[in-house]
Amino acid sequence: MAGPDGLVFNEYQLRLDACARTEPGTYFALSPAGGLGWSVGAALGAKLAAPDRFVVATIGDGGFIFANPTACHWAAEAHELPILMVIFNNARYGAVRNATLSMFASGAAGRDNGLGLADLSPSPPFERYAQAHGAFAARVEQPADLPAVLAAARDAVLKEKRHALVNVITPY
């Protein structure tokens, strides 16, 4: 999907076997210096530095909220930075849930499956934020639909020179 020279900024559990990177310097993951929302800003900066490269940001829905979606889409549109954003949307802060359960699984947190401070439902319609800024935007709820939607998003970025967002609804 990203091609051998594409740049991937991953802030989620993207499986590299599904997105093999064969060229050095084409895959970047969250470091201790980063934080929630890091991948989209990093991808926008990379597109500024390498305007001819295909750039992808993968992020969870909680991380995308921290990234400030309106600011991300505004920057992509205003500065003509056609990148692809892929959101893995499970309607919860996974890191918060996991940390809570690791410490308090036997208490009230465990009884509500760690969702007390991690539940993000109802999930924002992230694709609508993107549409408001002229982006290609899609919501994917069925796994079989994902390849065609990703191909259309890639075409929007490469051929139409506009940013794209794919909101992938995932089970936890």
* DSSP assignments along 79-113, one per residue: TT---EEEEEE-SB-HHHHHHHHHHHTTSHHHHTT
pLDDT for the residue 105: 83
Side-chain-side CA neighbours of residue 5 (13 Å) = 6
CB within 8 Å of 158: residues ≥ 6 apart: 54, 82
Structure tokens of 83?
């990148």
pLDDT for the residue 15: 77
Q: What is the 3-state secondary structure (H, E, C) of the chain?
A: CCCCCCEEEEECCCCHHHCCCCCCCCEEECCCCCCCCHHHHHHHHHHHHCCCCCEEEEEEHHHHHHHCHHHHHHHHHHCCCCCEEEEEECCECHHHHHHHHHHHCCCHHHHCCCCCCCECCCCCCHHHHHHHCCCEEEEECCHHHHHHHHHHHHHHHHCCCCCEEEEEECCC
Go through the chain and tell me how many residues it has: 172
pLDDT for the residue 4: 78
Domains of the chain (ranges; CATH) run 7-94+121-169 (3.40.50.970)
Per-residue pLDDT in tens (0 to 9) along the chain, 172 residues:
788 789 999 987 777 777 888 889 999 987 777 788 899 999 999 999 999 999 999 999 999 998 999 999 999 999 999 999 999 999 988 777 878 888 888 888 887 777 777 888 899 999 999 999 999 999 999 999 999 999 999 999 999 999 999 999 998 6
